[in-house]
Amino acid sequence: MLLRTMRDLLQENPGFNPTQVVTANTWLGVPNDPKMDPYLGIPGTTTFDRELLRRMKAIPGVELAAITSSLPTTNSNPNAVGGLAIEGLAIEGLAIEDRPVESSQDLRAERIRISPDYFKVLQATLLRGRSFTEGDEDGKQLVAIIDESTARKYWPDRDPLGRRVRFGRDPTEPWITVVGIIKDIKSDGLDIDGVPHIYVSTYQDPSKQVSVVLRTSLPATLLEPQIRHEIQSIDPGLPVFKVSSMNDILDRSLASRRFSADLVSGFAGLAVLLASIGIYGLLAYMVGQRSREIGIRMALGARRDDILRMFLRKGVALAGVGIVAGLVFSASTASMMASLLYGVRPHDPAVFLIVPLLLLAVAALASYLPARRATKVNPIVALRES
């Protein structure tokens, strides 16, 4: 089941095209004296963001550039809102206009800041409405783009476009108008579905966490020095870290599951090997102990095929008892693995059918060698030795 989970995740559509996308990260640090912070407030951060994007687009080989506060599948968005807590991140409230306050208590979503070309870089699908523009900035109407999950969950029978939402419980906070709906992007991991996300313009709601996403045919190793130079040309004190391709990020997001699958596969293979050796050794011992009986049977007219089938039946019967016991135990404990699975039911019929058949085939093969050895017993030699 873990192997099927791993296979399904490797084939999972992340909601965007990760090919030819390079990412880099920086952090707009906070000095001890807030008055010395050049990125305090929206104007300072917006100026940095625009200059950063201008420089990134000027790098030879870069087709498009954008920034975000949270890269897909990294599960590191520092602005989870509502009741969703990821790695101890801050929790806020979410309100929807024209909804009673009581009905807004359990609303949750993740807020992700992005620049206008973000969806173009990722080649994500805009289903309805519009993307952000350079004009969606401070002082203008606050706008947001929601994903399919948000639309289905909070507006199941209404059109979300033009509706307004607000982050936090403070009624004085401004409303944000929904202007677009994007196809779901796996922002929290390939194995996490249905989490609502609300995208806001980084020019209206900036973040200290800045991740650059570039669409380019160049490898990350070749671009890293240029990205580092351009960022630190704006501010030499800024760190630049985790420069990698988006495909590498997707691979890293599956690292723990890949390790679990490899570990379980290794132990499963070892268990099958030990079981095969055990069956082979037991039947080989039985053939040696029953050589006189085999000789008598063959002297009385038993055919070699009869002797072969007799020992094969014993080996398969031994394996059958173990398989039945294993099926009962697996069926009773399979639900405990539910949290480790994706796209596979704990009591998946295919798994509970194919695996026992595979084990039975391995047991038959392990039984065949000593059974074939039994057919080569010379009845005269066996009787004489007895």
Pairing state of beta strands 164-167 and 80-81?
Answer: unpaired
The answer to whether 22 and 244 are in contact (CB under 8 A) is yes
Dump the DSSP string for 329-342.
HHHHHGGGGGGG-S
CB-neighbour burial class of residue 78 (10 A; exposed 0-12, middle 13-18, buried 19+):
middle
Q: Which residues pair with 180 in a beta bridge?
A: 129, 145
- Specify the pTM: 0.73
Return the axis-axis angle of helices 349-375 and 255-289, rounded to nearest 10°.
30
pLDDT in tens, the chain (386 residues): 666 666 666 667 788 999 999 999 999 887 777 777 888 888 889 999 999 999 999 999 999 999 999 899 885 444 444 434 333 333 456 888 877 655 555 678 888 999 999 999 999 999 999 999 999 998 899 999 999 989 998 898 889 999 999 887 777 888 999 999 999 998 887 777 778 899 999 999 998 899 999 999 999 999 999 999 999 999 998 999 999 999 999 888 777 777 777 787 788 788 778 877 887 787 777 776 667 777 777 777 778 787 778 877 887 887 788 888 877 877 777 666 665 565 566 667 777 787 788 878 877 877 777 777 767 766 666 556 55
What is the distance between the alpha carbons of residues 100 and 316, in angstroms, rounded to a whole number? 67
What is the distance between the alpha carbons of residues 257 and 252, in angstroms, rounded to a whole number? 10
User: Which of 270, 222, 266 has the alpha carbon at shortest distance from 243?
Assistant: 222
Q: Which residues pair with 198 in a beta bridge?
A: 111, 146
Count of beta carbons in the 10 Å neighbourhood of residue 169: 13
